[in-house]
Structure 1
């Protein structure tokens, strides 16, 4: 008699939904990972300039290769995008790009559209911050979000202050506007601690992007290989915004960095996985 039995893997419950960034060239592998781990996808490639004139072809390819319901977030365009500029032609071109991405987010049923705020803190000219704020308020006020929540991601921001002003001054009950904390961008440019950042912005933060680097430039190593203090990030997220979705950002790789990053989070008991029950992280 064969007394062996098939062991069914136990799925570990997480505090928030985890998303990963697939590469269209290797979409099948990412889809299998998402399905086996109960992850969702953040589509990053449609944000790249080379893809912006071919979004119909991109999403046609994607929909032919992946089941419905896997997309949690679509990343909107950000390189050279300035919807707030006083230059009319550049402003209108930027707005058209973002509007098309918003339309695609609605079309594919993505709950989130991620937009970089693209504020340049090194500009000290009088009125620049107000121009940025009024430009974004004007642009967002003209949009129909549908069921999409737009989340504004920090890039070169030293503090969350201006992002908070945007959300609070926008204040529309018919449109959902929230914030995204990119941990890697914070590690390069942030001038306040994660505790200070999320103590101020946590109530508006719906999405968190995990990334690591050495504080000098935006890079994509496996999590735990840079200088981000993930134990501190873990502590603050659990306290301030435990249900925010978490994207594991390692760039488009062959699976090695993603696998190592997930193992790092699981083994150390870091958010959004269950906390470690003992020992050192």
Structure 2
């Protein structure tokens, strides 16, 4: 990224109503978070789609959504669970098609426990790859045809290379990498992972999405930017050499602090 990047945010439609002027003042990317739960995806989501189209009239940024993740594991060893996860991904793609959404965030299968046990059994690393392919292959192929990209977000990941290699194994333009800064900082502070900027260095140009949240290295805080102790200058320095133009999505718990978070990075001279 050579120019000062424009920040976007993750919001529900209610949050969009509160931050609409800020969202529309520049071509800010938006990640909708109304279509996460099974109840919504299996229900009548058309009224939400209609409301989104109304609120986003005039929006010039890229539109994404957080995909289903609660209770789901894209690398489950149980074929019945894989079938459920695959169905949820298809439902998410249905929503994406209805709203011309071009990016869907999904969660990494790698856990802290897995990090210490991947080499404890023969072929365990390959088994994770195979299970993920069995879960996501059909959805990734459909996403390619639909002009949509799944981005795989770190959750408990200790070694970012594991997730990168999984994405590389798909060899598809419809599966890329996401970094959640708070998750990476938790892994750094609590499990001994590398610092947040190292996650960006490892991802390189496979990186197409970032959740920006601040934290203390102990828990998944989703604090406003500037309220924790993430080294933002180091992180954005790593981003400056990445040319894949990842979406910079402020994802914090208190949505009333989205604009203040953007102002914090602007004051640091890192983004606008």
TM-score where L is the length of structure 2: 0.84
Is 1:155 matched up with 2:155? yes
In structure 2, how many angstroms separate the alpha carbons of the residues matched to 1:68 and 1:35?
A: 7
The answer for the alignment partner of 2:261 in structure 1 is: 261
In structure 2, how many angstroms separate the alpha carbons of the residues matched to 1:201 and 1:40?
A: 20
Deviations 1:159-202 (A, max 9, x none): 21121111221114xx4221011111100014113443333211
The answer for the alignment partner of 2:30 in structure 1 is: 41
Residue 67 (structure 1) aligned to one of 45, 57, 60? 57
In structure 2, how many angstroms separate the alpha carbons of the residues matched to 1:74 and 1:193?
A: 27
Runs (4 or more) in structure 1 with deviation over 4 Å come to 68-71
Residue 88 (structure 2) aligned to one of 97, 116, 125? 97
In structure 1, how many angstroms separate the alpha carbons of the residues matched to 2:166 and 2:244?
A: 23
In structure 1, how many angstroms separate the alpha carbons of the residues matched to 2:83 and 2:52?
A: 28
The answer for the alignment partner of 2:199 in structure 1 is: 197
Is 1:247 matched up with 2:249? yes
Deviations 1:82-131 (A, max 9, x none): 23212122221121112210222133111211111132230436355433
**Contact 2:178–2:211 at 8 Å: present in 1 too?**
yes
- SS of 1:98's equivalent in the other structure is helix
In structure 1, how many angstroms separate the alpha carbons of the residues matched to 2:14 and 2:203?
A: 36
- SS of 1:142's equivalent in the other structure is helix
The structure that is helix-richer by fraction is 2
Using the TM superposition, give the Cα deviation of residue 266 of structure 1 relative to its aligned residue in structure 2, in angstroms.
Answer: 0.8
**Contact 1:212–1:228 at 8 Å: present in 2 too?**
yes
In structure 2, how many angstroms separate the alpha carbons of the residues matched to 1:45 and 1:188?
A: 25
In structure 2, how many angstroms separate the alpha carbons of the residues matched to 1:192 and 1:26?
A: 33
- SS of 2:156's equivalent in the other structure is coil
Number of equivalences: 256
- SS of 1:232's equivalent in the other structure is helix
The unaligned stretches of length 5 or more in structure 2 are none
Using the TM superposition, give the Cα deviation of residue 43 of structure 1 relative to its aligned residue in structure 2, in angstroms.
Answer: 0.5
Using the TM superposition, give the Cα deviation of residue 17 of structure 1 relative to its aligned residue in structure 2, in angstroms.
Answer: 4.3
In structure 1, how many angstroms separate the alpha carbons of the residues matched to 2:252 and 2:32?
A: 13
Map residues 1-281 of structure 1 onto 2, 5 A cutoff. Answer: 15-54=4-43, 55-67=45-57, 72-123=63-114, 124=117, 126=121, 127-143=123-139, 144-145=142-143, 146-172=146-172, 175-190=173-188, 191-241=193-243, 243-253=245-255, 255=256, 257-270=257-270, 272-273=271-272
- SS of 1:119's equivalent in the other structure is coil
In structure 1, how many angstroms separate the alpha carbons of the residues matched to 2:125 and 2:70?
A: 19
In structure 1, how many angstroms separate the alpha carbons of the residues matched to 2:208 and 2:64?
A: 11
Q: 1:67 to 1:79 in 2, by over 3 A?
A: same
The unaligned stretches of length 5 or more in structure 1 are 1-12, 274-281
TM-score where L is the length of structure 1: 0.82
**Contact 2:49–2:98 at 8 Å: present in 1 too?**
no
In structure 2, how many angstroms separate the alpha carbons of the residues matched to 1:183 and 1:32?
A: 26
Using the TM superposition, give the Cα deviation of residue 26 of structure 1 relative to its aligned residue in structure 2, in angstroms.
Answer: 4.3
**Contact 2:213–2:251 at 8 Å: present in 1 too?**
yes
